[in-house]
Chain A
């Protein structure tokens, strides 16, 4: 199956700072990527759909000014958590689809804000 990578896998930052997470499709081109957040023992929550060359589409309740998404190429999407606070601590996961409807997930980024 298709391979999706994420970097970093873990990050600890201080409250008020910004953190950038990269998501790459390694062996295919992804016109659309997805960003999810998952709190412990809870289900995946879709945050936004990232479209190459255009603005991301955010789900209801997700602050677009706080979670900046850029999809500059067919293999790279980035999520920047701006002015992070402890409540933003979570597991952030990106995914992409190759040709069909099946999605392939990156390994995730665990963000801890102190």
Chain B
């Protein structure tokens, strides 16, 4: 069974710091990796996707993928209180059906 593991948190960081969110997955055949942000009471919003090993940067967000270690992470630089949310990691393995982690709760305190 394909599994995606995330620390549920909460991860608490001060405003302006770097928040580091981690995700591991069990299926070595996984090909596509996604990070979604979900505010309380709202639906998930896609913020990053990465397909190749290495780093991918988009504004304050950087996704990092290491397929050998089956590890994907999301770094949020200059964290803001508005970044406080649950971050979901999702992985697909060649089909369009993703496997989601349970999410990590991030709290950015002023």
Contact = CB atoms under 8 A, between A and B. Distances in A.
A76 interface: no
A71 interface: no
Contacts, number: 48
Interface residues of B, number: 21
A102 B45 contact: no
Interface of A: 1, 32, 34, 42-44, 46, 49, 91, 93, 97, 100-108
B88 A108 contact: no
B46 A102 contact: yes
B60 interface: no
B103 A106 contact: no
A6 B54 CA distance: 36
Contacts of A91: 41, 43
B21 to A, nearest CB: 15
Interface stretch (B61-69, B72-80, B93-101): B93-101
Contact of A108 (B32, B42, B46, B96): B42
Given A32-B96, A49-B97, A97-B96, A105 B45 contact: yes
Contact of B101 (A34, A43, A46, A108): A43
Contacts of A97: 96
13 contacts: A32-B96, A42-B102, A43-B100, A43-B102, A49-B97, A91-B43, A97-B96, A100-B32, A101-B32, A101-B34, A105-B44, A107-B43, A108-B42
